[in-house]
Structure 1
Amino acid sequence: MKLAFSSLGMPGAGIDELIRCAEEGKAEGLELRIADGEAITRNMPATAQQAVRRRIEDAGLTLIAISSYIKVCSPAPDADVISALHETLELAASLRAGGVRIFPGAEGNGEVKDWDQIAAGRLSVAAEAASSLGVDLLLETHDSHPTGRDISRILRVVEPAGTTKALWDVLHPWRHGERPEETASYLEGSLAYCQFKDAVLGPEPGSVTLTLPGEGDIPITEIAGIAEKVSQRQGNPTYWACLEWEKAWHPHLEDLPAALSAFRTLLMPEATP
Structure 2
Amino acid sequence: MSLTHCFSTLGCPDLSLRQVVDLAVHHGIGAIELRALSGSVDVPARLTAEFGSPEALADWLALQSVAIVAMGTSARLFGEAFDLAEVERFVPWAEAVGARNLRVFDGGTVLTDTDIAAARQRLDLWTDLREKRGWTVDVMIETHDALVHHEPLARFCREVPQARILWDAHHTWAKGDTDPLVTWGEIAARVVHMHVKDSAPAPEGRAYVLPGAGDFPMAALRRRLEEEGVAFPVSLEWERLWHPQLPSLDEALAAAAASDWW
TM-score by length of 1: 0.81
Does residue 122 in structure 1 map to residue 122 in structure 2? Answer: yes
Percent identity of the aligned residues? Answer: 23
Residue identity opposite 2:60 in structure 1: R
Post-superposition offset of 1:246: 0.9
5 Å-filtered alignment, 1:98-177, equals 98-107=100-109, 112-130=112-130, 132-158=134-160, 161=162, 164-175=163-174, 176-177=176-177
Post-superposition offset of 1:153: 3.3
Change (3 A) 1:54 1:223: farther
1:227 corresponds to: 225
Change (3 A) 1:87 1:74: farther
18-27 vs 119-128, greater mean Cα deviation: 119-128
Change (3 A) 1:7 1:121: same
**Secondary structure at the residue paired with 1:193?**
strand
Change (3 A) 1:130 1:33: farther
RMSD over equivalenced CA pairs, Å: 2.7
Q: Distance in 2 between matches of 1:20 and 1:36?
A: 14
96-105 vs 125-134, greater mean Cα deviation: 125-134
Q: Distance in 2 between matches of 1:202 and 1:39?
A: 29
Residue identity opposite 1:210 in structure 2: Y
Q: Distance in 1 between matches of 2:191 and 2:30?
A: 19
Structure 2 unaligned regions, length at least 5: none
Post-superposition offset of 1:178: 2.1
1:71 corresponds to: 76
Q: Distance in 1 between matches of 2:38 and 2:224?
A: 36
Deviation sequence 1:77-115 (CA, Å, 0-9, x none): 35xx233334434442233211011111115xx762212
Residue identity opposite 1:2 in structure 2: T
Change (3 A) 1:188 1:245: same
Tell whether the 8 Å contact from 2:10 to 2:36 is kept in structure 1 after alignment.
Answer: no
Q: Distance in 2 between matches of 1:42 and 1:71?
A: 18
Tell whether the 8 Å contact from 1:85 to 1:126 is kept in structure 2 after alignment.
Answer: no
Structure 1 unaligned regions, length at least 5: none
Change (3 A) 1:21 1:215: same
Q: Distance in 2 between matches of 1:105 and 1:4?
A: 24
5 Å-filtered alignment, 1:1-273, equals 1-33=3-35, 37-38=39-40, 41-43=43-45, 45=48, 47-75=52-80, 77-78=81-82, 81-107=83-109, 112-130=112-130, 132-158=134-160, 161=162, 164-175=163-174, 176-201=176-201, 207-230=205-228, 232=229, 238-267=231-260
Residue identity opposite 2:69 in structure 1: I
TM-score by length of 2: 0.84
Tell whether the 8 Å contact from 2:78 to 2:107 is kept in structure 1 after alignment.
Answer: yes
